[in-house]
Amino acid sequence: MRIPPLFPVMALVAAAVPGAYAQVPQTLSYQGKIKVNGNDFTGAGQFKFALVNAAGSQSYWSNDGVTVNGAEPVTAVAVPVQAGLYTVLLGDATLPNMAALPAGVFKNNEMRLRVWFNDGTSGWQRMTPDQRVAAVGYALMAETVPDGSLTSAKLADGAVTSSKIAAGAVTATALAPQAVVTSLNEAGFNSLPAGTTLISKDANSTPLTNAGYSNIGTMNAGDSWTAITGGTARDLAASVWTGTEMLIWGDGTGGWRYNPASNAWTAMSAVNQPSNRRHCMAVWTGKEMIVWGGLADDSSYVNTGGRYNPATDTWTGVTTAGGLSARAWGSAVWTGKYLIIWGGYNGSNVVADGAAYDPEAGTWAIISSTHTLAARQLHTAVWTGTEMLVWGGKAKATPSGADFILFNSGSRYNPTGNSWSAMGAMDAVPARMRHSAVWTGSEMIVWGGYTSPYEPPVYTSTGGRYNPSSNTWIPTGLNGVPAARSMHNAVWSGSEMIIWAGSSGAELNTGGRYRPGQTLYLYQRP
């Protein structure tokens, strides 16, 4: 494993931020690269950090806040690594096990960053050599001039002449908001000194490349989680997103509506709702939630359902599925016209078939079974706008055996051609079942679930993001992640994935709101 020199991203960010601030954030951004056995590492890495003297015998700061004499810290910081690259804010006290970074640390002379890494398999290893902290870090000691402290005695006679000052500039109200930034924009990117690095959301920024800047790499703006609570604890329900609310139904005597804008819960009508069940499937059509299938209170498998209209708070029935066996633990997507049910368990076998339901016509049609996707249950599926993505789940290792297997594989179904195609492997995130999946508009995010097919369950709080355009995966972030769980609910609000309820050995009424990180592109002027 190896790590590259300290990369002064903090200075680069400062050059790209519009406006100025009186107080510099007490964090130091660091980018590194990790190789395990000669290969770029991808996954949730565990790191420990310390700022030490040149000899490495004295600790000025460590991520656990207590370790001294250059020793390895006791606790670790979880940092996502993609293709060997990672970024972390040293001193960001919002990260678990990350102590604040006092400005006084940079009063010391030559200082170096010491890093330890654990890939979860090889144990802890110290990265060598320690990396020298360059002058950028000492900017943390910069201070503003106190109000009223600069007097005429500090200026030489005639030092400031009227020709050097714009008319009316030296007054409290002379400078308009963003005046300095406007001036820089008018002067253009070429007005900045050589070596300046700017940040852009565009991987191919024409204005910057035309000004002579070169794309020198990327940085991740960072994922984030926000906790939510409330509602009735449950772990086997179905959920959909309406555009303004998350609807939860099943595994209880009624359903609930959650509004993230007001952080409020409202009970759904129970009049004419389907018979109570758990492990059912649900979709949102644009005006109704359709629920179907599941396991009834008497442990029988059902092929009935219902349609809930939140505008009128009313329920209507669903036509019984023709030719499709009753089942639970399957998946469901809405294509814009059809509800597609696929996979699951029918009480006797794990199945690999499915059907499409047209609620306007009240009819069902069996979909193609010409694919190499193994039969599975407890998997997930999302609709991209053109395809259904099926991923994960559980099945027997052999048709007649007693052993089970979990999948980190999937397939893509196109209803226009009634055809299937392969999905890229997800090596960065473990195989799982009883997890959740949402579609963001460009990516499928899977999260949580079990990472073992046997009891007792092994719950996880990890996840992954799949991009069908590139057929690639990256892991989700761990900063502020909710407790590991399975059988929870997840919806995409348009900007966030909302996770709620589930089980971690007991039913939960907690969750989180996940905002995926954004890739930013670094451009430097030669």
In this structure, are 101 and 249 located in the same domain? Answer: no
Residues 131 and 230 placed together within one structural domain of the fold: no
C-alpha 332/C-alpha 340 separation (Å) is 5
Top pLDDT among 64 and 202 is at 64
What is the pLDDT at residue 38?
Answer: 86
**What's the alpha-carbon Rg for the chain, to the nearest Å?**
28
Report pLDDT digits (tens) over 411-421. Answer: 999 999 989 99
Angle, CA 182 vertex, CA 177 and CA 185 arms, to 5°: 155
Query: 224 in helix, strand or coil?
Result: strand
Mean pLDDT of 40-52: 92
- What residue type is 188 in one-letter code? G
Same domain, 495 and 347: yes
Instruction: Please indicate, yes or no, if residue 198 is contained in any of the structural domains.
Output: no
pLDDT value, residue 1: 45
- pLDDT computed for residue 175 by the predictor: 55
pLDDT of residue 521: 79
Of 141, 166, 181, which residue constitutes the final position of a domain? 141
The least confident of 173-182, 314-323, 389-398 is 173-182
pTM: 0.56
Contact 251, 236 (CB under 8 A): yes
Q: What is the pLDDT of residues 133-175, one digit of tens each?
A: 876 544 545 555 666 666 767 777 777 676 767 666 655 455 5
Average pLDDT of the residues in 64-90: 92
- The beta strand positions in 362-467, using DSSP E, are 363-366, 380-383, 388-391, 394-396, 404-406, 410-414, 419-422, 436-439, 444-447, 463-467
> Does 77 fall in a domain?
yes
Within this chain, do residues 356 and 455 fall inside the same structural domain, yes or no? yes
Burial of 72 (0-12, 13-18, 19+ CB in 10 A): middle
Say if residue 485 is in the same domain as residue 345. yes
Give every CB contact of residue 416 below 8 A, 6+ residues apart in sequence.
386
pLDDT of 179: 55
Mind listing the pLDDT tens digit for each residue in 195-247? 788 887 777 888 888 888 888 877 666 666 777 666 666 556 788 989 999 89
Cis upstream peptide for 129 (omega within 30°):
yes
- Residue 218 lies inside a defined structural domain of this protein: no
Q: Is residue 349 part of a domain?
A: yes
Contact 255, 277 (CB under 8 A): no
Does residue 149 lie in a domain region? no
180 occurs within a structural domain: no
Q: Cβ distance 113 to 133 under 8 Å?
A: yes
Q: Are residues 450 and 302 in the same domain?
A: yes
205 is a domain residue: no
| Domain match, 233 and 137 both | no
Q: Report the share of the chain in percent with pLDDT over 70.
A: 81
Residue-level pLDDT at 375: 92
Query: Half-sphere exposure (CA, 13 Å, Cβ side) for 87?
Result: 18
pLDDT band for 339, please (50, 70, 90 cuts): very high
The tens digit of pLDDT for each residue in 439-491 reads: 999 999 999 999 998 888 999 999 999 989 888 888 888 888 999 999 898 88
501 CB neighbour count, 10 Å cutoff: 25
CA distances from 284 to 264, 340, 382 (A): 20, 12, 12
Domain boundary among 141, 175, 191: 141
Q: What is the mean pLDDT of the segment spanning 78-101?
A: 91
Domain hosting residue 101, numbered range: 9-141
Highest mean pLDDT range out of 39-43, 221-225, 445-449, 521-525?
Answer: 445-449
**Is the confidence at residue 314, as pLDDT, over 60?**
yes
Percent above pLDDT 90 for the chain: 43
Highest mean predicted confidence (pLDDT) among 85-94, 145-154, 284-293: 284-293
As a whole number of angstroms, the distance between CA 440 and CA 476 comes to 13
> Is the domain of 379 the same as that of 242?
yes
Q: Which of 266, 224, 271 is nearest to 248 (CA)?
A: 266
Q: Mean pLDDT, to the nearest integer, of 260-281?
A: 91
Per the model's pLDDT, the better-predicted residue between 169 and 40 turns out to be 40
Q: Tell whether the model's pLDDT for residue 6 goes beyond 50.
A: no
Total domains, the chain:
2
Same domain, 371 and 473: yes
pLDDT score recorded for residue 24 = 56
Residue where one domain finishes, among candidates 109, 141, 173: 141
Q: Are residues 365 and 495 in the same domain?
A: yes
> What is the structure's pLDDT at 401?
63
> Do 432 and 297 share a structural domain?
yes
**pLDDT (average), residues 485-501:** 90
What CATH number is associated with residue 453?
Answer: 2.120.10.80
- Residue 200: strand pairing partners: 521
For residue 386, tell me if it sits in a domain.
yes
Q: 457 and 328 in one domain?
A: yes
pLDDT at 183: 58
Q: Can you read off the two tokens belonging to residue 332?
A: 């469901």
